[in-house]
């Protein structure tokens, strides 16, 4: 690949030879001028110059970037500017978004309800088997002790009702459990799809600006 100097780049500032510099590489934009969705003038105004910042500010898509290799002339001899691509900005924006939501990343939002339900289930089962009477799970418990109105007693009661249903009709109980799990899984899946889609700003028009 040809190594070019700034003098050479600056000399190619006409419509017939409109060279622009992007991230230290030199491109001849002339064949693409008429096809540029942002208009030919935007590129022509920058002919013979470094267009990296404005190019990235316009958040060009990966489709736009795929055009570049076909226009490549060479690389600039000296170029030490580090301009992040809007593609990497998108990655960082998604990352920052994750952090700003209190560390509740996609995997946590998936894991947390699972862990909590498992803990609650284990606790219910434990509480149920530790009941002093051990019988009458279906409706018993309302007159067990003075603490029955506390939330823990209510939860234990709920657990014992669940346990009674499960032992009375395990097939039905498993079907309900599977149904609930599927609804929950579908919810997690949909929120994840929305999240990932949201993070992919490159899918939207180039005029989308990154904050
Ligand atoms: C050879 C270099 C360039 C190529 C291959 C290119 C390619 C494209 C493509 C394919 C789009 C459509 C949207 C997308 O896919 O991102 C676009 C839009 C755009 N480009 Fe470029 N571009 C180049 C240089 C520039 C430069 C130097 C500017 C300077 C400001 C610029 C500004 C814009 C703007 C503002 C839009 C949005 C147009 C709109 O949404 O109406 N582009 N470009």
Higher pLDDT, 131 or 21: 21
User: Quick one: pLDDT at residue 95?
Assistant: 55
Neighbouring residues of 59: CB distance < 8 A, sequence distance ≥ 6:
86, 89, 90, 201, 202, 206, 207, 208, 209, 210
Check if the beta carbon of residue 37 is closer than 8 Å to that of residue 44: no
For ligand 1, atom 10, which residue shows the shortest CA distance? 64
Domains detected in the chain: 2-83 (3.10.120.10), 97-203 (no CATH)
C-alpha 56 – ligand 1 centre gap (Å):
9
User: Quick one: pLDDT at residue 207?
Assistant: 41
The total number of residues shown for the chain amounts to: 211
C-alpha 74 – ligand 1 centre gap (Å):
20
- The model's confidence at residue 148, banded by pLDDT at 50, 70 and 90, is low
Q: What is the ipTM of this complex?
A: 0.94
Pairing of strands 2-4, 72-76: parallel
User: Quick one: pLDDT at residue 170?
Assistant: 78
At 37-86, the pLDDT tens digits run 999 999 999 999 999 999 998 888 889 999 999 999 999 998 888 777 77
Please indicate whether residue 128, judged by its CB atom, sits closer than 6 Å to ligand 1: no
Please indicate whether residue 42, judged by its CB atom, sits closer than 6 Å to ligand 1: yes
């Amino acid at each position: 690949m040809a190594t070019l100097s700034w003098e050479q780049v600056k000399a190619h500032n006409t419509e017939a030879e409109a060279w622009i510099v992007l991230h230290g590489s030199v491109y001849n934009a002339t064949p693409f001028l008429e096809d540029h969705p942002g208009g030919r003038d935007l590129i022509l105004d920058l002919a013979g110059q470094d267009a990296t910042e404005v190019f990235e500010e316009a958040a060009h898509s990966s489709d736009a970037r795929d055009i570049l290799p076909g226009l490549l002339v060479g690389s600039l001899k000296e170029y030490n500017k580090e301009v992040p691509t809007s593609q990497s900005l998108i990655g960082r924006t998604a990352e920052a978004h994750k952090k700003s939501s209190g560390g509740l990343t996609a995997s946590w939002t998936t894991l947390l309800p699972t862990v909590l339900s498992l803990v609650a289930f284990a606790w219910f089962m434990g509480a149920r088997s530790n009941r002093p009477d051990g019988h009458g799970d279906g409706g018993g418990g309302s007159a067990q002790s003075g603490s029955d109105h506390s939330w823990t007693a209510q939860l234990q009661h709920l657990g014992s009702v669940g346990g009674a249903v499960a032992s009375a009709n395990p097939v039905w109980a498993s079907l309900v459990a599977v149904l609930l799990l599927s609804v929950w899984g579908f919810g997690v899946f949909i929120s994840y799809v929305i999240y990932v889609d949201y993070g992919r700003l490159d899918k939207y028009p180039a005029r989308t600006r990154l904050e």
